[in-house]
Chains A and B, each alone.
Chain A
Amino acid sequence: MNLQIQKETEGNTDKLLINGEVDAYTAPKLKDTLISLTEQKGREVVVDLSGVQYMDSTGLGVFVGALKSSQQHGSSLKLTGMTERVHRLFDITGLTDVMNIEAHTKGEVR
């Protein structure tokens, strides 16, 4: 299983759709993509995690790094569509307080 990253750009906003597994093998690709986007001043980066089937601390590290990058460069980072599993990881590690995470969309099929 690999990781697919799809990008949709609309005006100032880049939306990334992530599908697959985020681990030590696939994370560098995600990191490169996120860093290059968050380095652009004023960009709004939205990451849709609904297609993530597996993630571990390597993935958490990528998002922490991207958040740091966005704060340094004056862009923004938002995470959406997290499954309960992925949300739990952010929760256990306390990252829910730090990251900008959009809650589950109402009416979403669980």
Chain B
Amino acid sequence: MNDFIEMTIPAKADYVGVARLTVSGIANRMGYTFDEIEDIKIAVSEAITNAVNHAYSDGQQGFIKLAYEVHDDKLEVTISDEGQSFDVEETKKEMGPVNGKALDQISEGGLGLFLIEALMDRVDISDKAGVVVAMTKYLNRDGVDDSVDQYKPARSQ
């Protein structure tokens, strides 16, 4: 049985840090490395920032749902809003590393989705009703030696 954690936050930048602390706690408990936890924190923040900036028009009070599913070998995070969808395919065309681009061609806001894909192992974005970003980070236990392993928090029952 996988553990499931859900949280709803107002679609305001004020709460990005709160969400980051939450996922950091979950990932730490699962035994991810420091760098992996930082990657997960960034990916989660990017998805939330995206929803804060694009999902709801000014004055409209919206919410963002955060769902964390804890597996033995992976963490699945789903971040969804019920606001306006954006065209995922169109946005993807504009994203990517800025390699070789002139400064004026670099979009100041276009790096978020790219970072999510670069930092997580699996990313699935749906724009059917609101935007749903589902992302997975695998827990690579092979790379951890025994001496480190014993300090891992106990698994859930």
Given that A54-B41, A68-B104, A85-B38 are contacting pairs, would A23 and B112 also be in contact in the complex, using a CB cutoff of 8 Å? no
B53 within 8 A of A: yes
Interface residues of B in 83-113 (CB under 8 A from A): 97-101, 103-104, 106, 108-109, 111-112
Interface of A is mostly: helix
The segment from A7-15, A37-45, A86-94, A102-110 that touches chain B is A86-94
Chain A: interface residue count, which band? 20 to 34
Find A93's partner among B41, B53, B97, B109 (CB 8 Å cutoff).
B97
The segment from B2-10, B44-52, B147-155 that touches chain A is B44-52
- CB contacts (< 8 Å) of A101 on chain B: these are none
Closest to B43 in A: A56
Compute the total of residue contacts between A and B using a CB distance below 8 Å.
77
Given that A21-B17, A23-B13 are contacting pairs, would A93 and B45 also be in contact in the complex, using a CB cutoff of 8 Å? no
- CB contacts (< 8 Å) of A58 on chain B: these are 49, 112
Interface residues, chain B, with chain A CB atoms under 8 Å away: 13-14, 16-17, 20, 35, 38, 41-42, 45-46, 48-49, 52-53, 97-101, 103-104, 106, 108-109, 111-112, 114-115, 118-119
Cα A57 to Cα B52 in complex, Å, equals 14
Evaluate contact between A61 and B45: CB separation under 8 angstroms.
no
Evaluate contact between A94 and B97: CB separation under 8 angstroms.
yes
Q: List 18 interface pairs A-B (beta carbons < 8 Å), by A numbering.
A: A24-B45, A24-B53, A25-B13, A25-B16, A54-B41, A57-B49, A57-B114, A57-B115, A60-B111, A67-B103, A68-B104, A85-B38, A92-B119, A93-B97, A94-B97, A94-B100, A95-B98, A98-B98
B144 to chain A, nearest CB (A): 20
Cα A97 to Cα B120 in complex, Å, equals 24
Cα A1 to Cα B20 in complex, Å, equals 11
Evaluate contact between A23 and B97: CB separation under 8 angstroms.
no
Contacts A24-B45, A58-B112 aside, 19 further interface pairs with beta carbons under 8 A come to: A23-B17, A24-B49, A24-B53, A25-B16, A56-B45, A56-B49, A57-B49, A57-B112, A62-B108, A64-B103, A64-B106, A65-B108, A67-B103, A71-B103, A89-B42, A93-B111, A94-B100, A97-B99, A98-B103
